[in-house]
Amino acid sequence: MVKYIIKRLLLCAFIILGVSMIIYFLLRIMPVQYLEEQFRTQLDMGILKEEEFNRIKALYGLDDNSFGGILKGYFTWLGNFFKGDMGTSFQTGSPVAYEIKSKMGISFAISFVSMILELIIAIPLGIKCACNQYGKLDYGATVVCMTLTAFPTFFLGNLFIKWFAVDLGWFEVGGLQSSSLPIGVSGAEKFGDMLWHMIMPMTVLVMLNVGSYMRYQRTNTLEVLNSDYIRTARAKGLSENKVIYKHVFRNTMIPLVTVMASTLPMLFGGAMITEEVFAIPGIGQTAYQALKVGDIPLAMGYNMFIAILTVIGILLSDIMYAVVDPRVKLGK
């Protein structure tokens, strides 16, 4: 086990190194639009001299666009990154690490609650559909879930805004607090108001993702139901509920571990499009705005953050195989 983990950690280090190169070079070749737009007026009016503007670009490592300059900038950025210094955001002037840390909590809360609801709905529904294969419930649930999965996030989100916020007036879109909330209200009222604002984005996330989990659980359950030991359990006279929930369910959790590996970056990385549609000030919306305006330090820091979470999730998934299923032997 220890040798296996060490090998996987070394492989993860090489993967992160390769991903960091791709992220840096792709974002580094973006035009320096943000700095130029921010300081163009001052340059034109003579308030800011060209030498001072070049000094600002050098501060962000954007002064030398030659291959050697870009390569030097990459190793400088990578070294600072592993020291905990992700750079300074062009937009806010705050450290990128602070921006990610301060916005991550909101995204985590929405994604975590949504994921729990998805699993609560999808796992029992997938098992029920598998046990009633080609029945009315199976066909109906499959059609509804696949239809919802096919909807683009922005389309379903805007439908919710149109129906429940504009037409019915049940919700207020934009941010996490109502504009009508009086000053000096208690913490409980603020928390309740925040939860009310989270209902629509969380509902959209659940509706879009529950179909994938349901179909995956249904497929795994059908595979286990056709196994020899399930037929043996039934032949021994065990009740159907005991066969399903003691033998079948436990073994369907093994492949589900692989799917759960992808939840780590999703939990902490935010739902970019959903947060943008509902104007939720999470890390997803912040990263989207950074990409739009060319905030290179924040975009690079966010993408590296997601890459590391993804690698950690896959590593944990591999280790969890041995925990969930003792039959799985890790390489020595």
Residue with tokens 């800011």: 48
Residue with tokens 């929405």: 110
- The C-alpha angle 202, 207, 210, rounded to 5 degrees, equals 110
For 11, the enclosing helix (H) or strand (E) is helix 2-28
Give the percent of the chain with pLDDT over 90: 4
Q: What is the mean pLDDT of residues 183-192?
A: 73
pLDDT of residue 330: 55
CA dist 193 and 191 (Å) reads 5
* pLDDT tens sequence across 199-227: 899 999 999 888 888 888 888 888 888 88
pLDDT of residue 73: 80
Q: What is the mean pLDDT of residues 172-190?
A: 73
pLDDT at 171 over 80: yes
Helix (H, G, I), strand (E, B) or coil at 169: coil
pLDDT of residue 32: 53
Q: Which domains does the chain have, with CATH numbers?
A: 96-324 (1.10.3720.10)
Q: DSSP of 58-119, one letter per residue?
A: HHTT-S--SHHHHHHHHHHHHHHHHTT---B-TTT-SBHHHHHHHHHHHHHHHHHHHHHHHH
Question: Given CA atoms 232, 234, 239, 244 in this order, what sign does their dihedral have?
Answer: positive
Q: What is the mean pLDDT of residues 285-298?
A: 82
Structure tokens at 89: 């955001």
Which band of pLDDT confidence, cut at 50, 70 and 90, is reported for residue 94? confident
pLDDT of residue 59: 63
Residue with tokens 């369910």: 249
Q: Are the CB atoms for 204 and 274 separated by under 8 Å?
A: yes
Q: Are the CB atoms for 111 and 199 separated by under 8 Å?
A: no
Helix (H, G, I), strand (E, B) or coil at 238: coil
Question: Which residues are CB-neighbours of 223 under 8 A, at least 6 positions away?
Answer: none
Structure tokens at 17: 């190194």
Which band of pLDDT confidence, cut at 50, 70 and 90, is reported for residue 328? low
Q: Name the residue among 299, 307, 318, 305 with its Cα closest to residue 14.
A: 307
pLDDT at 123 over 70: yes
Q: How far is CA 255 from CA 124, 252, 325, in A?
A: 16, 6, 10
Q: Are the CB atoms for 252 and 224 separated by under 8 Å?
A: yes
pLDDT at 323 over 70: no
* pLDDT tens sequence across 41-88: 667 777 667 777 777 667 666 677 777 777 888 888 888 888 888 888
Global confidence as pTM: 0.79
